[in-house]
């Protein structure tokens, strides 16, 4: 009976996780993060435990351990920077004012760095080994498969940009074309590596077709940033080739011989990609509208230059906030909650500031930025100095640099399908340099290797325990949400109760408070809100719900204060807050207190009406048009001389929203789901 190799099994688990994350939402969901943590914990325990066994018994590599032969050892400096970055992220979350979110980022980053350290150990033969070949094929074939699925989604669904498999089938609003563009930037070098190493002619032709389809999908994603970075990748490729040609006579001769053929092949693929994109758009145009490439390039599309303007605003706001808490930041995923009070327009908020460095600076502090840059720079610098002069090394460098460049204008490392191959690629770039070192050359290094393995085992055990605990909570909240959809409020509250003490709380206490309010259990609602405030006191939704509860309890003064706080933070996030603020004016004294805020109220009212007229961030498809009508009536009562103007503006915006809603309903939900 053939003996099962745990090391080989762990490699296949990682590869299967890559395939799953690519084909299921791009690894965006929390389920992908939990699977990532389980896999990282498993492979770390396997390799670290066997490494300790080998060190203690001073066994040669491969003897009685099932491990492949290796002299690879992660440099202590690289190992230390990686773990210090994870530790700093954990500290930032512990001292965060938004602790109900962010734990998933801690788990994801810790798991990714454990796998980064593991691949340096597991990928012992570097880019010439069997593991690297399997890794390349999984990413390449996964990208091609994803683009084939995305082809049907693009032609048969309302979404007007190519998204591959980066969508959520149960939510029509969740599709991520910019993340797909970044995944293409990551994966197209893998397709070329697979093509170069493939010996079968038929498969090589299929890989060329797949590369053409990937390039087509990048064009149809209409991602200006993605196309810009792709051009930079091409220039980097040319630069690497020129550098190799200058230092290698044989390569220079080969390049001279293949130059014409390579140029013709590239031009043919590019022309085919544009032609295929045009044909696909012709098919789509028979069912849905097609995004105009000219309007997108000239910034005359529906969003105009708003996407660039908002990004610049996010960058400035993140930079401003980063200097308020420069050491540990506000905590992972805190930008969503800390930024709204700085928002300059309707729904101008985001989960992140669209820049990986500013995200780290604002959320985890400037030391985290330094550690991240130091880690990436160390890997790239060492690999640049010591990389093997072959196509695989060049293409792997281009892939990694493409992802890094794109994350300076649009953060997408929360997608496991992007982050996991990215960090594994960095690990493979380290292998050539580290494989020259010996595991045990002195008693000090012998003890150090043992201690480091203990630390990794401890980290893996902690990650596995936290993941197991949080998985139970996530299952109970999923069941509670399904019960709410069926109208079973009592049972949903019961299942939400299983998650009250979870570390990754998210909006559980808010949901419980809302359900308690619906059932008129005001005391229970207050308890839930008090618990939520201990986790996150900067969420405008909390202050809004607190004001509603206090209003129902008859505490009008406290309700006014809470709603005022909610308006200060989230006036551009939810127009219902302004409606609630104005509805508190029950007496003449209340009206007199609100009169000084007329300019602010008018500005928010006008901004929302303009946003509804232009359907900015799809605001017309929300309840804000109804809130606008209610606010117009409230303002009309408060300022009678302007009542007619408020009514005319609100009616015009509401009628436009009604037309947009009818058009959206007529468009249907698509042919696939």
Inform me whether the pLDDT recorded for 602 exceeds 80.
yes
433 or 11, higher pLDDT? 11
User: pLDDT by residue (tens digit) across 307-320?
Assistant: 788 999 999 999 99
Residue-by-residue DSSP string for 155-191: HHSS--S--TT-B-TT-TT-B-HHHHHHHHHHHHHHH
Inform me whether the pLDDT recorded for 443 exceeds 90.
no
Considering only CA atoms, which of 184, 185, 168 is closest in space to residue 176? 168
Inform me whether the pLDDT recorded for 333 exceeds 70.
yes
Distance between terminal CA atoms of the chain?
47
**pLDDT for residue 66:** 42
Inform me whether the pLDDT recorded for 72 exceeds 60.
no
Dmax over Cα atoms in the chain, in whole Å?
91
Inform me whether the pLDDT recorded for 244 exceeds 80.
no
65 pLDDT band, cuts 50/70/90, is: very low
Of 129-133, 138-142, 342-346, 498-502, least confident by mean pLDDT is 498-502
**pLDDT for residue 1:** 42
Inform me whether the pLDDT recorded for 531 exceeds 60.
yes
Inform me whether the pLDDT recorded for 92 exceeds 50.
yes
**CB of 419 within 8 A of CB of 108?**
yes
**CB of 586 within 8 A of CB of 638?**
no
Of 22-26, 371-375, 497-501, least confident by mean pLDDT is 497-501
Inform me whether the pLDDT recorded for 352 exceeds 80.
yes
Question: Mutual orientation of helices 643-667 and 598-614 as an angle, nearest 10°?
Answer: 30
Inform me whether the pLDDT recorded for 36 exceeds 90.
yes
CA distances for 214 relative to 274, 372, 412, angstroms: 11, 30, 18
**pLDDT for residue 121:** 79
Q: Counting Cβ atoms within 10 Å, is residue 246 exposed (0-12), middle (13-18) or buried (19+)?
A: exposed
**pLDDT for residue 436:** 45
Inform me whether the pLDDT recorded for 658 exceeds 50.
yes
Inform me whether the pLDDT recorded for 568 exceeds 60.
yes
Inform me whether the pLDDT recorded for 435 exceeds 60.
no
- With a CB cutoff of 8 Å and minimum separation 6, the contacts of 551 are 559, 580, 584
Every domain of the chain and the residues it spans: 6-460, 596-673
Q: Could you give the percent of the chain with pLDDT greater than 90?
A: 62
Inform me whether the pLDDT recorded for 104 exceeds 90.
yes
User: pLDDT by residue (tens digit) across 388-419?
Assistant: 567 888 899 999 999 999 999 999 999 999 99
Inform me whether the pLDDT recorded for 222 exceeds 50.
yes
d(CA 322, CA 316): 10
302 pLDDT band, cuts 50/70/90, is: low
Ramachandran region of residue 483, left (φ > 0), alpha (ψ -120 to 50) or beta?
A: alpha
How confident is the prediction for the chain on average, in pLDDT? 87
Mean local confidence (pLDDT), 35-61: 75
- DSSP letter at 210? H
Of 55-64, 195-204, 468-477, 615-624, least confident by mean pLDDT is 55-64
378 or 663, higher pLDDT? 378
**pLDDT for residue 263:** 82
Residue-by-residue DSSP string for 446-503: HHHHHHHHHHHHHHHHHHHHHHHHHHHHHHHHHHHHHHHHTT-HHHHHHHHGGGTT-S
Backbone angles phi, psi at 503, to 5 degrees: -75, -35
Inform me whether the pLDDT recorded for 579 exceeds 70.
yes
Mean local confidence (pLDDT), 438-451: 54
Q: What angle do CA 153, 157, 161 make, to 5 degrees?
A: 70
User: pLDDT by residue (tens digit) across 494-513?
Assistant: 888 888 888 888 999 999 99
Inform me whether the pLDDT recorded for 636 exceeds 90.
yes
**pLDDT for residue 48:** 78
Considering only CA atoms, which of 352, 365, 375 is closest in space to residue 83? 375
d(CA 618, CA 414): 24
d(CA 372, CA 363): 13
Mean local confidence (pLDDT), 460-476: 91
Mean local confidence (pLDDT), 615-636: 93
d(CA 639, CA 49): 74
User: pLDDT by residue (tens digit) across 534-552?
Assistant: 999 999 999 999 999 999 9
Inform me whether the pLDDT recorded for 589 exceeds 90.
no
Inform me whether the pLDDT recorded for 112 exceeds 80.
yes
**Tokens, residue 368:** 């985290």
Inform me whether the pLDDT recorded for 440 exceeds 60.
no
Q: Counting Cβ atoms within 10 Å, is residue 403 exposed (0-12), middle (13-18) or buried (19+)?
A: buried
Inform me whether the pLDDT recorded for 667 exceeds 70.
no
Of 236-240, 334-338, 610-614, least confident by mean pLDDT is 236-240
Q: Could you give the percent of the chain with pLDDT greater than 70?
A: 89
Mean local confidence (pLDDT), 234-246: 83
657 pLDDT band, cuts 50/70/90, is: very high
Question: Mutual orientation of helices 366-386 and 356-364 as an angle, nearest 10°?
Answer: 140
């Amino acid at each position: 009976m053939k003996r099962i190799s745990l090391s080989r099994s762990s490699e296949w688990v990682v590869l299967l996780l890559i395939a799953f994350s690519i084909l299921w939402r791009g690894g965006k969901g929390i389920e992908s993060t939990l699977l990532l943590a389980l896999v990282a914990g498993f492979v770390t325990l396997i390799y670290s435990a066997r490494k300790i066994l080998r060190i203690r018994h001073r066994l040669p590599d491969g003897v009685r351990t099932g491990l492949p032969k290796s002299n690879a050892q992660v440099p202590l400096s690289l190992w230390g920077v990686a773990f210090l970055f994870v530790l700093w992220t954990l500290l930032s979350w512990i001292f965060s004012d938004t602790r109900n979110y962010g734990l998933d980022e801690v788990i994801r980053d810790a798991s990714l760095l454990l796998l980064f350290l593991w691949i340096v150990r597991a990928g012992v033969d570097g880019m010439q080994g069997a593991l690297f070949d399997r890794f390349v094929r999984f990413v390449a074939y996964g990208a091609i498969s994803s683009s084939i699925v995305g082809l049907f989604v693009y032609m048969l669904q309302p979404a007007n940009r190519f998204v591959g498999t980066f969508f959520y089938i149960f939510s029509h609003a969740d599709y991520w074309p910019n993340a797909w563009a970044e995944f293409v930037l990551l994966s197209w070098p893998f397709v070329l590596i697979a093509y170069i190493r493939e010996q079968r002619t038929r498969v090589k032709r299929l890989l060329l077709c797949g590369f053409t389809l990937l390039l087509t999908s990048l064009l149809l994603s209409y991602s200006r940033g993605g196309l810009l970075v792709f051009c930079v990748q091409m220039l980097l490729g040319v630069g690497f080739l020129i550098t190799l040609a200058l230092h290698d006579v044989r390569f220079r001769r080969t390049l001279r011989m293949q130059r014409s053929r390579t140029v013709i092949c590239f031009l043919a693929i590019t022309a085919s990609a544009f032609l295929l994109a045009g044909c696909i758009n012709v098919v789509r145009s028979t069912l849905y509208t097609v995004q105009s490439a000219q309007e997108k390039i000239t910034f005359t599309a529906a969003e105009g230059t708003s996407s660039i303007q908002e990004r610049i605003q996010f960058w400035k706001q993140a930079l401003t906030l980063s200097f308020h808490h420069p050491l540990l930041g506000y905590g992972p995923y805190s930008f969503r909650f800390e930024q709204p009070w700085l928002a300059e327009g309707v729904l101008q908020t985001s989960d992140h500031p669209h820049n990986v460095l500013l995200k780290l600076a604002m959320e985890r502090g400037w030391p985290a930025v330094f550690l991240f840059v130091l880690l990436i720079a160390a890997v790239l610098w060492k690999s640049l100095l010591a990389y093997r002069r072959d196509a695989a090394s060049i293409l792997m460098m281009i892939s990694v640099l493409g992802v890094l460049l794109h994350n300076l204008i649009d953060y997408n490392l929360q997608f496991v399908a992007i982050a996991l191959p990215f960090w594994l690629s960095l690990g493979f770039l380290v292998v050539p340099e580290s494989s020259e070192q010996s595991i045990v050359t002195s008693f000090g290094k012998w003890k150090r290797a043992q201690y480091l393995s203990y630390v990794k085992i401890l980290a893996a055990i902690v990650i596995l325990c936290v993941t197991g605990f949080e998985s139970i909570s996530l299952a109970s909240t999923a069941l509670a949400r399904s019960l709410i959809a069926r109208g079973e409020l009592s049972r949903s509250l019961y299942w939400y109760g299983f998650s009250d003490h979870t570390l990754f709380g998210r909006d559980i206490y808010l949901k419980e408070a809302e359900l308690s309010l619906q059932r008129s259990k005001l005391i229970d609602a207050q308890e839930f809100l008090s618990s939520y405030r201990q986790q996150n006191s900067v969420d405008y939704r909390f202050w809004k719900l607190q004001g509603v509860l206090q209003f129902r309890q008859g505490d009008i003064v406290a309700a006014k204060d809470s709603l005022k706080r909610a308006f200060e933070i989230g006036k551009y996030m939810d127009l219902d807050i302004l409606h609630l603020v104005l509805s508190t004016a029950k007496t003449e004294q209340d009206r007199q207190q609100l009169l000084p805020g007329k300019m602010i109220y008018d500005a928010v009212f006008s901004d929302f009406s303009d946003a509804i007229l232009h359907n900015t961030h799809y605001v017309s498809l929300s309840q804000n048009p109804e809130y606008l009508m209610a606010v117009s009536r409230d303002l009309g009562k408060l300022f009678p001389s302007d009542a007619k103007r408020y009514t005319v503006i609100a009616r015009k915006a509401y009628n436009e929203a009604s037309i947009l809603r009818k058009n959206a309903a007529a468009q249907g939900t698509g042919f696939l789901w």
